[in-house]
A and B are shown apart, each in its own frame.
Chain A
Amino acid sequence: MIKAVMVMNTQGKTRLAKFYEYLSVEKQQELIRGVFAVLCSRAENVSNFIDAESIFGPDSCLVYKHFATLYFVFVFDSSENELAVLDLIQVFVETLDRCFKNVCELDIVFNYSKVHTILDEMIFGGQVVETSSSEIMKAVEEISKLEAASNAITLIPKSASGWRSR
């Protein structure tokens, strides 16, 4: 089972954190910090695995992928296949990319709720529920339509993302 999904930038700012087992906020933050401390010291061109047991306790594995300014981190137990989870990160990122057209960190920051929805269509209670990026998109669009039916949509133009990013 997948225990947690985290997205953080190279400065250690959390962009998304979803834990599939209940943990207190303090514990969540401690784990995120622990993961970042290891990730930021990793060189390029090394494996996508780090030792997770020292952070998450026994029977945990961690796979991450580094894209531009972001780390995508999945934590899971031995019932999952490491490389399959790595593929899943790829599907997640590809779906975000489809959704935001050349996704960048700011898309994820400002569309926090949408990123959540995408993740929920892909991982359900710690299990993979959908692996096809087009199926995920279909489901997300469906939800968007339902929301749009009741909301006045205020689109944030992409250019606005130039706001003094740090």
Chain B
Amino acid sequence: MDYTELLEKAIVVSSSVALFCNVIKHIWSSTKMEKEPVKVLVTGAAGQIGYALIPMIARGVMLGPDQPVIIHMLDIEQAAEALHGVEMELIDGAFPLLRGVVATTDVAEACSDVNIAIMLGGIPRTEGMERKAVMSRNVSIYKAQALALEQHAAADCKVLVVANPANTNALILKEFAPSIPEKNITCLTRLDHNRALGQIAEKLQEHVSDVKNVIIWGNHSSTQYPDVNHATVTTSSGEISVRDLIADDKWLNTEFITTVQQRGAAIIKARKHSSALSAASAVCDHIHDWVLGTPEGTWVSMGVCSYGSYGITPGLIYSFPVTCQNGKWSIVQGLKIDEFSRAKMDATANELLEEKSLAYSFLG
């Protein structure tokens, strides 16, 4: 045969061999090599939400069943013994994915190299307490935690603020940790989002996994606006709009909204404790979808830094509909907003502006 034919054959053979080697390497690496552990910080870890959340993280609910984790738990001195008890229980859980536990009252140690920070710790509002008093104490907590995270957390650390007032605590954190990218600081409205899905599912007697694309706009407070105008239900005849299926606009514009807004209080009334189980679960969902991406055609609600979308004042931490991909969230743009919705979205934005003023009044 001539020289070119030989060359061609040689190229084909060597390419095949190279491909084969790459395939083997890939198979080898995916079966033998384990992912590097991710460090997850939980502040206020000795409390109720922490106790529900931590086993979920250790079981892979937050980051996936093949992602090892190291859990950092922070709480205040008074809770040190209880925190140690949680550490003991984590060891007793013999969790395969758990590669280490740090239980500490030292904020620098807690924040050290963490990739994800879940801020549960804060001053809860107790009976008789003025809003001003709660706000002033939380502002100083979140200022201090911001400094610690900025100094010690891993680059690109993703932060989720849960402790109320969640949006404003997140705002304070953002202001005092300027080297943490703004996009990395969020607050939890996934609980409200999930509650809205649950209410729709119950009303329609459908499985909640068939309901999607509700939106929680605004503040994680009683001014939040649960919006179903773009929500759908997956049925045997395709995706149908929630409004059409429910066929009860009055309910959707009143009782549904107030039920979701006031669900937290309803849980406290029934349990005599606040909603730790569902809050912890929503925390896992928020981080999971942020890190691993939202399913095709589905969005979720996250409290994120506004850049002015939908006419919302830039700089506020405001809950929007978002999709997530490659570890980043993007606001779903172009959704039609009717007059009813506009008024509600503005009302909750105004509350956030007031909270921001109040918070800043304590910073002097």
A and B bind: no
